[in-house]
A = this chain, B = another copy of it.
Amino acid sequence: MPASLTDVAKAADVSIATASRVLAGSAHPVAEETRLRVLKTAEELGYQPNLVARSLRIDHTYTIGIIVENILSPFIPPIVRGIQDRLEVDGYFGITINAGWDPQVEAEAIQTLRKRQIDGIIFVESCLRSSDEVFELADKPHVFVHRLFNSLSLNSIVPDEHYGARLATRHLAQLGHRRIAFINGPEGWNATINRMAGYQEELAIRGIFDPGLVERGDWEVQSGYLAAQRLIALKDPPTAIFAGNDLMALGAIYAIQEAGWRVPGDIAIVGYDDREFSGFVRPAITTIRMPCEEMGRASAEALLRLIDGETEAIEPILIRGELVVRQSCGARGEGEWEFEPERGSLPRRRARELCP
């Protein structure tokens, strides 16, 4: 049986109220002498406050719900990590539920969280359309992070893909390329619309935009492979390709190599997302990093402000990722290539310490 506040109060010969005041760090004044005595007895008894009881009393659980579509989806773990890290600072906790891109399941998840009296909700890559839908289900503070289909509503934290696409395109242009193709994503996605817009804007400013160099894929490797084959078959093929994501960039690289050309020698490639494999594929893919952890942190930060009542709603927040230069763009020459260490793995030094 763990010691309760009553136990500590009894042992320290004070009232339970006083014990609570010192152990919960209340602003209410307590004589220094008693304070120390209570602290000491609590220590001796190994007292740990019962947060469930406290939550019931103060009507605040310091717990927020994180509704993710699928924890296996590539950007979600880093987003969740960012959320957790920021939450921890304020003593909050997140409980995550997988909703599998099903609005029905998402609605049920909200109910479950409501029963657990969570203080707020973060939707990660949610397919729910509006805040109204959420308020109908649970009148709780909430934010959306990395919405895939409609970005510009309130309480949203999304990547600045227009900016990223301009960065990628500009990099290629500055390397001297004038025929820069684009492999776009499937219709309807924010990423498709904004990456295309950034690409087009950057080239239009330079007077070298050519709609004939825009192909469409579906985000998967195979589609990038096929799109690049079409691009290669042009009478006047591009000298560089900006692929809408790293998966399609990889497919494009395969198509180019298969045609007997070299990357970046004959055609330079830039991808988007900075997926882990981009660092150890050959050639390693130059790309735009998706600022997942930053988005996670920003969303937690925003939710905490909403919970504290500092504001009614937050304006959409755009988070920028930076250009990651590797081999496929040609900026580093073609000779040398390095392998990046795996992300998220146990650091070598640590590993050695832990071995028996």
Contact = CB atoms under 8 A, between A and B. Distances in A.
A316 interface: no
A117 B52 contact: yes
Nearest to A111: B48
A356 B56 contact: no
A172 B48 CA distance: 56
A86 to B, nearest CB: 12
Nearest to A59: B52
Contacts of A344: 70, 72-74, 76
A135 interface: no
Contacts of A251: 339
A351 B346 CA distance: 35
A344 to B, nearest CB: 3
Interface in A318-356: 338-339, 341-348, 350-352, 354-356
A71 B77 contact: yes
A155 interface: no
Interface magnitude class on chain A: 35 or more
Contact of A220 (B48, B218, B341): B341
B73 A346 contact: yes
A288 interface: no
Contacts of A237: none
Interface string A67-104: 00111111011101100110000000111111001000
B247 A74 contact: no
Nearest to A55: B52
Contacts of A84: 71, 96-98
A246 to B, nearest CB: 10
Contact of A339 (B49, B97, B220, B282): B220
A85 to B, nearest CB: 8
A339 B224 CA distance: 11
17 contacts: A52-B61, A63-B95, A71-B77, A74-B344, A76-B77, A77-B77, A94-B95, A101-B346, A101-B350, A127-B354, A188-B354, A220-B342, A221-B339, A222-B339, A251-B339, A277-B280, A277-B281
